[in-house]
Amino acid sequence: LDPNNKSYNLPLVGLLEGDIDRDRFEQAFKAVVQRHESFRTAFIFLDGAPRQRIFAEVEFEVEFHDVGDDSSLEGKIIAAFVRPFDLSLPPLIRAGLIRRNATVHILMIDTHHSIIDGTSQGILMNDLLNYYNDQAFGPPPLQYKDYTQWQEKRNHDPQWIRAFCRQERYWLERFTGGVPLLDLPLDFPRPAVRTFQGNDHGFTTDSKTTARLTRMAKGEEVTLFMALLAVFSVTISKLAGTEDVVVGTSAAGRTHADLQGIVGMFVNAVALRNFPRRDRLFNEFLSEVKANTLAAFDNQDYQFETLVKQLNLHRNPGRNPVFDVMMVLNNEEIPDLDMPGIALGDAGYRRTSAQIDLKLRAYERRSGIFFTIEYDNQLFRPRTIEMFGKNFLEVLDAVLDDPAIVIDSIAITHGLSASKKDISSLEFGF
């Protein structure tokens, strides 16, 4: 629909320090591409329907750039590297190295979301390291086409049809009466058609706050994801002035052990609807979030695209269907780089696209929890997103001080609360 859209590219950019063997690196990458059929898969239309087309071999070369002392070229090279994919032309993965000097390189990997998910990125990196370190291993026992063929057969199984109908009833009941429209305060008028232009903002909690959050979650018998989802839902509720909040998240989709080693796109979007009413105690709301989350993931096999179709929604090209905000707790197993004499560091790369109005990502680290807010910069100014992050931390502090606090008593003081006006003229004091 939009050939120039880069919002579903999944770039990885890192700093490599050490002695890089370029030929060995390229051969390792070619071996990974040959090992996994997903990296040799394209998508075509056959009789009006999309189909996977797997190629026995594809041309694959690692891009090499030498910038020498001119570091200003790096940003331009990375920007040009993350470019649209033609889904009909494999491979839907590219790799590159930027050489600063003999011991410093920037690693670039870009893939399209149609063939890979976060867990697959971990498999990719692990296999790349093994091949670079000359560790031989055989082909994976299953490929992604085996999974899709199993899905097709399953769709004709009477037992699965009954399960599908049960899951469909669950999701349609969750949205009886329609889908609530989230009215976050925007800096700019919403475009008639989404541009997918974005940016991100990062912030952290320290180890003390993280420890308090872990204790609170344990005491309330909820997971870290559930606790963060409840805090995020309350924050969004206060900003938008609503007691009916739908937050999207991602289900890994690898519900069978045999799927763990397959490179492919298994993720399904899940719409979590909760009701942070002002008169409720936060810990009561948290219990409801727990129950709703467990039920939603029990019904995660029902595809989000099918739900959108069954709800018969009016498709607004300026909005995402069903939800405008997401929250994801990233815990994919992407291994540390372990190449002989090479260390991996942060290259300072920032995304310039957004799949949705606002997405909160949380990464659990030893020193605390690192958050990023990916946002549509055609809707929000950077300082507004900074304020959203401060609001989130303010709600978090309040519920950690008193999990039984009344939601209406939780104050957010950074900028605005439930404002419906254009906020571009407001001053926030930071």
Q: What is the pLDDT of residues 45-62, one digit of tens each?
A: 999 998 999 999 999 999
Give CA–CA dist 359/377, Å, rounded: 12
Give the least confident one: 64-73, 116-125, 270-279: 64-73
- Give 380-406 pLDDT, tens digit per residue: 999 999 999 999 999 999 999 999 999
Question: What pLDDT band is residue 19 in, cutting at 50, 70 and 90?
Answer: confident
Report the sign of the C-alpha dihedral through residues 88, 90, 93, 97, in that order: negative
Report pLDDT digits (tens) over 309-358. 999 988 888 899 999 999 999 865 455 555 666 777 776 777 778 889 99
Which uninterrupted H or E stretch holds 386? Answer: helix 382-401
Mean pLDDT across the chain: 90
Q: Which two tokens stand for residue 275?
A: 């009701």
How far apart are the C-alpha atoms of 382 and 374, rounded to whole Å? 11
Report the pLDDT value the prediction gives residue 338, as an integer from 0 to 100: 58
Question: Does residue 428 carry a pLDDT above 70?
Answer: no
Token duo for residue 233: 């839902």
Q: What is the mean pLDDT of residues 2-25?
A: 89
Cβ contacts of 410 within 8 Å, gap of 6 or more: 234, 238, 282, 394, 395, 398, 399
182-183-185 Cα angle (round to 5): 140
Per DSSP, 373 falls in state E
Question: For residue 334, what pLDDT is reported?
Answer: 52
Lookup result for tokens 């990974």? 32
Average pLDDT over every residue of 180-202 = 92
* Average pLDDT for 276-284: 97
What confidence tier does 219 reach under pLDDT thresholds 50, 70, 90? Answer: very high
Residue 119 has a CB neighbour count (10 Å cut-off) of 23
The alpha-helical segments, DSSP class H, found in 241-345 are: 282-298, 304-311
Task: Provide CB contacts within 8 A for 134, sequence distance 6+.
Answer: none
What is the pLDDT at residue 427?
Answer: 35
10 Å CB burial of residue 52 (0-12, 13-18, 19+) is: middle
139, 33 Cβ separation under 8 angstroms: no
Nearest one of 395, 352, 389, 349 to 372, comparing CA atoms: 389
Q: Looking at this protein, which amino acid is placed at residue 289?
A: V
pLDDT higher than threshold 50 for residue 417? no
Q: In this model, does residue 420 exceed pLDDT 70?
A: no
Is the predicted pLDDT of residue 1 greater than 90, yes or no?
no
Using 50, 70 and 90 to split pLDDT, how confident is the model at 66? very high
- Predicted local confidence at residue 340, as pLDDT: 66
More confident residue, 427 or 238: 238
**Once rounded to an integer, what is the mean pLDDT over residues 19-25?**
91
Average pLDDT over residues 201-206: 93
Q: Are 221 and 214 in contact (CB under 8 A)?
A: no
Q: Is the separation of the CB atoms in 325 and 248 below 8 Å?
A: yes
Judge whether residue 422 has pLDDT over 50.
no
Measured CA distances, 194 to 7, 177, 319 (Å): 11, 26, 7
Instruction: Say if residues 336 and 344 touch (Cβ distance below 8 Å).
Output: yes
CA–CA dist 10, 128 (Å, integer): 17
Give long-range contacts, CB 8 A cutoff, 24+ apart: 186-191.
Answer: 186/379, 186/380, 186/422, 186/423, 187/379, 187/380, 187/381, 187/384, 187/422, 187/423, 187/424, 188/378, 188/379, 188/380, 188/422, 188/424, 190/318, 190/319, 190/379, 191/318, 191/378
pLDDT digits (tens, 9 = 90+) for 224-253: 999 999 999 999 999 999 999 999 999 988
Confidence at 413, pLDDT banded by 50, 70, 90: confident
